[in-house]
Structure formats: structure tokens, C-alpha cells
Amino acid sequence: MFRPGMPVLLLCAAVACGGSSSPTTPSATADGSAPTASVQGQTIDALTGTPAGNLSVVVGSYRAVTTDANGMFSVESARLGTYPAALTGPGIVPRETTIRPSADPMRLSVIPSGFDLVSFNEMFRGENARLQRWTTRPSLVIIASTMALGTLSAETFTASSEQMSNDEVNQIVAHLTEGLSLLTAGTFTGFASVEVERPNAGTKVTSMRSGTITAGRYTGIASLANTIGYGRWLTTGDGTVIGGALFLDRDFDHNDARRRLLRIHELGHALGYQHVASRTSIMNASIGPEPTDFDRAGATIAFQRLPGNRAPDADPAGVARIASVSEGGGRWSDPSVCR
């Protein structure tokens, strides 16, 4: 919320996860022995996509191997199954994940040790100290009727007779599409669909919807919370974000030239991100900063990790299962109010 004045991770056959203590049981071959496979891969810099060499890679209980200057490594005669893997070495943040031997090489990204993990944790791992983000491209609904805010915790609102013009709607869509691409590191360059709703005056409107990000203007935000906007997000138990909502103060969003920054910031909340206090960021609690290099780098790393990733860089235990929007459930965040 604002107050005025203020290279994709690729794994062979398993999704990157973290730290189970033993491999799954493999099927036996015809002679009764356990089938084996060579684990081959490359370690790369998560920000640049370039090789990260001279790192230690430990797969399960097999001996550690060291990547060459091009980040290439091989673990011979590993039994088929899934294994915990640990990556360590100079210049990187230690990583814990899970891999599965395959005939195809894998690419494992690592975070440079100079990257600002403190600010990353604030923005992407704020709630329950775990990474939370969308895993599917969200749809967007613009509620073009101005609505009245009763309380910050309300989920249903009353539409007024005031309507956004088509030009205003198009501008909001453009700003949010820009923000979506930026804050997902180009993973989502556009919304799955865009719909515009124009409920009649007096109609009750539900803004909190699973599978969708809604955006609209509201009266009462400034008087109730002394702010110009806020956002909320819906998460499942594993940290997958499956819903979001932007609440824009009617007067500010209608009249102030900084509306674009407000919209992108509140979209960040609808994507599951929280305020950054330790450095300049579009997610600072006070309006003003343009998107920064840190925002772009942070999103690049976040979308190379699954929801549930924890500091410093530990993926969820076992082979992760990503929650589906269609399953419903989850919990809506509280409004992130600036003080």
C-alpha cells in the first residue's frame, strides 16, 4: 500500500525442490539389480544465465563432484529415483534442491553471493519466510464502476453510478500489463484474459476472486486508512498465489500523474509481494520509485524457484506439487497498510 509522499530453471525430469533425506525406491532390472543412470548437468548464474564453474555438487549420498569451468558436472552410476542435491562454492548462495537422474542434462541455477537477499526476503519471502508467487498466468478483471469502501477487510462493495471511460480502462490495462511483465521477469507478458465489468449503481460486487486479479477504484480509502491504495493476495498452503485484488483510491487514481506507479505497486501485492524497506524498490511503502534493477533481478530469481523456497536458497522437500487454481481454498492476506 502507498501513502502520499512516501533464464529459467530447467531440470531433467523432476521439478526443482528441496532436501528429502533419501532417494525414492527404484524399480529393479531384469537381473534384480537397481537400474542406474548418469546425472549430468550444468550450474549457471541465476541472473546472467552464464556458467558458474568450480562448484561442489553433492547428489544424495554419492561423493561430491566439482563442476568444471563451464559449470558441467557428472555423477556416474546413480540409481534411478529422486535425490536431494546440495550446491556450494565460492561466490554463490548455497542451494538445496531435489533432482532426478535422466539421460538429459539438467541446468541448476545458483544465486550470486553478492545479491541482496535481505531485500529479496522482504519482497518475495515475507509471509511465513517462504517464497510466494503465481505459477499460472492470471486473468485480469477491471471493475469500471467506482465502488464504496466500507472497511479494509471487506470483500463485497457497492457500485456507484460513476464509470471509468474506455480510455481510462485501457490505460489501467496497459499499466498493469507493463507491471506484470516486469514483476514476473517476462514469465507472463500479458494476462490470460482481460474483462471489463460495469455493474449498475447499487449492485453488490465481490472483488476477491480465486484465479483472477481484480482492479478498481474505491471511495473511502484515504479517509479510512490515510493511504492511496492497497492490494491483497490469495495463497494456498504451499505458497502458490491463486488470487489478487488492487484497491485504488478514486481521487488519486483519477487525478494524480503518479497513478502508473501506484497501479504497478498494488499489482505487486496482488502477485503476492510485500513491502521492501531496506533499499529503493517499486515495492517501497511510499510512492515515488520507478521499478529498479533490484526489482527486475529479484523477479528473475523468484521465477526460477518454486513457491515455498526458503532462505538462503532451499527448495521445498521432495518432488513439489504445484497447487491448482481450480482446487480453490487458500487464505486471503490482510491489507498491507502503510503507517
pLDDT at 22: 40
173/131 Cα distance (integer angstroms)? 27
Peptide bond just before 289 cis, omega within 30 deg: no
Across the beta sheet with 65-66, the strand order is 65-66, 56-59, 83-88, 95-99
Instruction: Reply yes or no on whether the pLDDT at 12 is more than 70.
Output: no
> Per-residue pLDDT averaged across 253-264, rounded?
96
Q: Which residues are 278's β-sheet partners? A: none
Instruction: Reply yes or no on whether the pLDDT at 326 is more than 70.
Output: no
**124-166 pLDDT per residue, tens:** 998 789 999 999 999 999 999 999 998 888 889 999 999 999 9
Query: What is the overall mean pLDDT for the chain?
Result: 86
Instruction: Reply yes or no on whether the pLDDT at 14 is more than 80.
Output: no
Instruction: Reply yes or no on whether the pLDDT at 323 is more than 90.
Output: no
pLDDT at 328: 54
Confidence of residue 79 (pLDDT cuts 50, 70, 90): low
For domain 7-115, which architecture applies? Sandwich (2.60)
Instruction: Reply yes or no on whether the pLDDT at 38 is more than 80.
Output: no
**172-214 pLDDT per residue, tens:** 999 999 999 999 999 999 999 999 999 999 999 999 999 999 9
Instruction: Reply yes or no on whether the pLDDT at 118 is more than 90.
Output: yes
What radius of gyration, in Å, describes the C-alpha atoms of the chain? 23
Phi, psi for 146 (deg, rounded to 5)? -65, 135
The three cell numbers locating residue 139: 486473468
> Per-residue pLDDT averaged across 265-285, rounded?
97
> Per-residue pLDDT averaged across 81-107, rounded?
88
pLDDT at 191: 98
Please tell me the least confidently modeled range out of 6-15, 119-128, 153-162: 6-15
How many CA within 13 A on the CB side of residue 109? Answer: 21
What superfamily does domain 139-307+323-332 belong to in CATH? Collagenase (Catalytic Domain) (3.40.390.10)
Instruction: Reply yes or no on whether the pLDDT at 10 is more than 50.
Output: no
Confidence of residue 234 (pLDDT cuts 50, 70, 90): very high
Reduce the secondary structure of 92-138 to three states and give it as a string.
Answer: ECCEEEEECCCCCCEEEEECECCCCHHHHHHHHCCHHHECCECCCCC
**Which residues are CB-neighbours of 176 under 8 A, at least 6 positions away?**
140, 191, 213, 215, 246, 263, 264, 267
Instruction: Reply yes or no on whether the pLDDT at 316 is more than 60.
Output: yes
In the chain, residues under CATH classification 3.40.390.10 are: 139-307+323-332
Instruction: Reply yes or no on whether the pLDDT at 21 is more than 50.
Output: no
Instruction: Reply yes or no on whether the pLDDT at 112 is more than 90.
Output: yes
pLDDT at 39: 78
Residue 275 · residue 284 · CB < 8 Å: yes
What predicted TM-score, i.e. pTM, was given to this entire model?
Answer: 0.87
> Per-residue pLDDT averaged across 256-275, rounded?
97
In the chain, residues under CATH classification 2.60.40.1120 are: 7-115
% of the chain exceeding 70 in pLDDT? 83
